[in-house]
Structures are given as structure tokens and as C-alpha cells.
Amino acid sequence: MSEILNYPSEWWRSATKGSWWIIPPTDEDEAEENFLKTSRKRRYRHHPQYIWPWILSTLFFASMTLVLFIRNWQMNTPQTSINGPSRPTDLEPAREWITEHEIQFGGGLVYNKQGKLLREPYLNEEEWVGSPSPEMDALWDHIEAGSIILLADSEADMVRDKTTLLDGYWVTGLDVIHQVHCLNKVRKALYPEYYHPLQSNETEKLHVEHCLDYVRQAVMCNADISPVTHTWYESAQTFGPEFRTKHTCRNFEALLQWSLDRSTEVTKAKGTGPETAQNPDVVVPGTLKGQHHKDHGEHAGH
């Protein structure tokens, strides 16, 4: 019986109802089978249209899947400059100057042994706040000198025809320096008797309110999530934040130097820039040599 089962099914023939006989294939049967196999091979060999649509559609869907995967990865992964992480809205030519380092904050509030609240002084560092002085003003003024920068050629690609054109250069600036300017504005408002603001009280109030809200937005935008620990002050019978915490910060000094190298004062020595504007309304009248460029703090709205 096992020998019978090993025969191909086409060898079986029904002689009578309920009876089966093993009939060897004839030459005609083998010839027909060989013809069918040969025909199928020839069909795929000589008609590639049966194969290529399937191959092309498979490659297309595989490519689309890869593109979508890469795009999703790019949208969910912070961009990185050569030295540190950057963001899509960062001014492109300044990105390579972005570096990060750890800094321990200072100037926190502490209680002394008598339970009195004090502002902790900086160690071997300049004082940025407190009673006004020429030395303190010089610290802030040094930063504000980089408020306005002038760009041309490839460095201006990100702002071209999106800002004011001054003597062949596009006028822009890093927002972090504007934020520092706003802090300085609030600082000066604490000492009106020293700085004697030239603006009316109402105008000065508008500027200070603008600066407070602008810094608020900047702080919330950057969202520093470094942990703030707390300390128990026995002398005051209370606990409070420990402000001497470490933070991962961008190297502000490097970005400031990049801005100072492109400030209006430095750019004046280069003469007229090569840039032209599509919209003549954005061109500032006059030239760098003849135009008195106001301090950033004197601009309208600042």
C-alpha cells in the first residue's frame, strides 16, 4: 500500500466505481507537463511586466516608510551644532559658537546666624546688582554693545529681506542680548534718583513692564529644569531654596563675542555692505559713516 501512495496523483485512474488502478503516465502526459512548465518559465522570462510592477511598488513603499521614519526622528530630536545642541530658530551662523558648560549659580538668599535674610555675595566675581556704580554700569554696557549686529553674504541668509537694511547690511541681533538689556532696564528702574530717566514716567513704566514680561517669556521658553534643593536654617527656624546649584548653560561669553565682532562699530570699518533689498521700504536712509546709531536702550519701544 505504501508503494501505491508514493505514485503521483496523475497516475491514478478510476476504472469502475470504487476501484482504482495505477496507470503509468504516457509519453503524451509527460510531454504536456513539460510543455506547461516551459511555458510558465518563458512567460516570466519574456514578459517582465509581471515582475517589475511588484518590485517597483515594494521599493516605493519601503522608501516612503524610510522617509517618514527619518522625518519623525528629525522632528523629535534636537538639532546639534558642532559643539552643542541648537534649535531650529537659532541664528544659523552663530550656531557653531554654541558650547555648553556647567556653572554654579550665586547671589542667592540666605539667613545669617542671627536669622536675618541676606543676599549672598559673589566670590571673586563682579557685582551685577546693588547700589549703582560706574563699574557696574560698564558690565551691562559691554553686553549691550552687541545688541545690534550687521550681517551680509551667507551669514545673512536667515534674515535676508526679513529685517531692516542699513548701508548694505541686514540689521539683526541675538535675542539673549535683548533679554539682558531688559534686565538692565528693570535694574535702572530701581534707582530712578541715580539714572534720572529722560522719558516720562508713563513711557518709562511701559518699557519696564515690557521688559519684565519679555524676560518672563524667555525664562519660560528656556525652561531650566535643574533641581532646586532646600536647606534648613536653624537661626530663622525655616527652610528655603539652596540657590548655589549647578546648571548646564550655553557659553554666553562666546556668543557675546560673536555679536561684538559684528556690531555696528566694528562693521563701520568695512565700508558699505554688498546687500540689496527687494523692498526699498526696509532700507534705512543714510550711511554708516553719516548715521548716528542710537544705543539699543534708546530705540523706540526699548
- Tell me the per-residue pLDDT of 219-260, one tens digit each, with 9 for 90 and over: 999 999 999 999 999 999 999 999 999 999 999 999 999 999
185 pLDDT above the threshold of 60: yes
pLDDT score of 197:
75
Greatest mean pLDDT range, 9-13, 169-173, 200-204: 169-173
Asked if residue 143 lies in contact with residue 180, where contact means CB atoms within 8 angstroms, the answer is: yes
For residues 51 and 97, membership in a common domain is answered with no
Domain end (from 46, 75, 104)? 75
- Domain range for 9 is 2-75
Mean pLDDT of 102-108: 92
Q: Is 240 contained in some domain?
A: yes
Would you state the cell numbers that stand for residue 18, as one nine-digit string? 470504487
Which among 75, 101, 119 is the end of a domain?
75
Cα–Cα distance, 43 to 267 (Å, whole number): 74
Q: How confident is the model at residue 163, as a pLDDT?
A: 97
Q: What total of structural domains would you count in the chain?
A: 2
Domain check: are 37 and 115 in the same one? no
CA distance 267 to 260: 10
Mean pLDDT calculated for residue range 103-115:
92
Is residue 87 included in any domain, yes or no?
no
- Mean pLDDT of the region 193-214: 90
Between residues 84 and 152, which one has the greater pLDDT?
152
Within-domain flag for 88: no
Residue partners of 147: CB distance under 8 A and separation at least 6: 173, 177, 178, 181, 259, 296
Model pLDDT, residue 241? 93
pLDDT value, residue 175: 98
Same domain, 215 and 137: yes
The answer to whether residues 198 and 98 belong to one domain is: yes
pLDDT value of residue 298: 47
Same domain as 259, residue 180: yes
Angle, alpha carbons 49-51-55 (nearest 5°): 115
- Stated as kind and residue range, the H or E segment containing 19 is strand 19-22
Within this chain, do residues 173 and 31 fall inside the same structural domain, yes or no?
A: no
Task: Identify the three-state secondary structure at position 151.
Answer: strand
Q: Is the pLDDT of residue 205 over 70?
A: yes
Assess whether pLDDT exceeds 90 at residue 122: no
pLDDT band with cut points at 50, 70 and 90 for residue 157: very high
pLDDT of residue 50: 59
Q: Do 63 and 199 belong to one domain?
A: no
User: Does 61 fall in a domain?
Assistant: yes
Same-domain pairing of 179 and 69: no
Q: Is residue 266 part of a domain?
A: yes
Among residues 75, 104, 134, the one where a domain terminates is 75
pTM of the predicted structure, to 2 decimals: 0.68
Terminal Cα-to-Cα distance of the chain (whole angstroms): 103
pLDDT of residue 253: 97
Count the Cβ atoms, other than its own, within 10 Å of residue 38. Answer: 10
Residue 143 sits in the same domain as residue 254: yes
Confidence bin at 89 (pLDDT 50/70/90): very high
221 and 109 fall within a common domain: yes
Predicted pLDDT of residue 64: 80
Looking at the structure, tell me whether residues 38 and 111 fall in a common domain. Answer: no
pLDDT 10s digits, 14-64:
444 445 545 555 555 555 555 555 555 555 555 555 576 767 777 777 888
Dihedral sign of CA atoms 212, 217, 222, 223 in order: positive
- Residue 34 resides in a domain: yes
Q: Is residue 83 part of a domain?
A: no
71 and 102 assigned to the same domain: no
The CB density around residue 168, as the number of other CB atoms within 10 Å, is 19
